Copies of this chain bind each other. A is one copy, B any other.
Amino acid sequence: MSDKSHWTGDVAELLRVDHGFRLAEVDPAATPGYDGHKKAGEAELTAGAARMDELQERLYAASRSDATHASVLLVLQAMDSAGKGGIVRHVMGSVDPQGIALAAFKKPTPEELAHDFLWRIEKRTPEAGFIGVFDRSHYEDVLIGRVRELAPAEEIERRYGAIVDFEKRLTDAGTRIVKVMLHISHDEQRNRLMARLDRPDKHWKYNPGDVDERLRWPAYMDAYQVAFDRTSTTDAPWHVVPANHKWYARLAVQQLLIRALDDIDPQWPAATFDVETERARLAAS
């Protein structure tokens, strides 16, 4: 960390979705627990990258020796343009790609739709030693699924409980689940989508369907609120990260990941061979 950190509070606690949480009361332009500005935040992100890098390597190393079955799973959900890609690039991009398992969930394929909604998710859960990242996730099935009525109401209802049970199994087996909603304002989304229209090299990121979803903004906010109410558990709580300031969102998610890794506290595994014997063998080779 840098000499003077601008963190004034515990970000995991400040952003956690607890009983009584109201999404409507969150200010997407706020920077909870942080009293610095962009420049300080970026410097702190760089310092945090070195810390994450070491923790990730320790986690990977520990898993190779059967010393731990621990893994981390970052679940990213957000409205379009809220910055999921930037998190992957600027937060995950700073650690060794060999320790990251990234899964981007798009519109389900016919094969995926022929199975339970968690079938494709289960296949992409991180193995021990890895940091998994879900760019969208099983929550789509209770977000767009609910807003667009892609399944009967009772099926949507069933899914909340199924998700809680599924995540409980993962956490019991050693996965720390970090669930993040990146929260931007309605106006900020308009600005960001407009900026894509202004740059020909960003046109490929623009999809007219994004505006169709944008027109259902209130329904999405309701769907998020219900998902939070039903699936923010002690073992796998949600965190709502204000994301109008990209630098803050990245820094906050990095802190949440460092916290998860610190909780695991992975140690370098002890040698399973005699070091002096090996030194002699090597020298003679």
- Please report A residues at the B interface, Cβ cutoff 8 Å: 61, 64-65, 85, 88-89, 92-93, 96-98, 100, 102, 104, 135, 190, 193-194, 197, 200-201, 203-206, 208, 211, 214-215, 268-271, 273, 275, 278-279, 281-283, 285
Contacts of A135 in B (CB 8 A): 98
Whether A279 pairs with B197 at a CB distance below 8 angstroms is yes
A72 to chain B, nearest CB (A): 15
Sample of 22 A–B contacts (CB below 8 Å) = A61-B201, A61-B204, A88-B98, A89-B96, A89-B98, A93-B93, A93-B97, A97-B102, A190-B283, A190-B285, A194-B282, A197-B275, A197-B278, A197-B282, A200-B271, A203-B268, A203-B269, A203-B270, A203-B275, A204-B268, A206-B273, A211-B281
Whether B282 pairs with A64 at a CB distance below 8 angstroms is no
A205–B88 Cα distance when bound, in Å, is 27
A87 to chain B, nearest CB (A): 11
A190 to chain B, nearest CB (A): 6
A30–B96 Cα distance when bound, in Å, is 27
Contacts of A205 in B (CB 8 A): 61
Give the interface centre of A135, A203, A268, A273 by most chain B CB atoms within 10 Å. Answer: A203
A238 to chain B, nearest CB (A): 23
Choose from B61, B88, B204 the contact partner of A269 (Cβ within 8 Å). Answer: B204
Whether A193 pairs with B92 at a CB distance below 8 angstroms is no
**A204-B64 contact, Cβ under 8 Å, with A190-B285, A278-B197:** yes
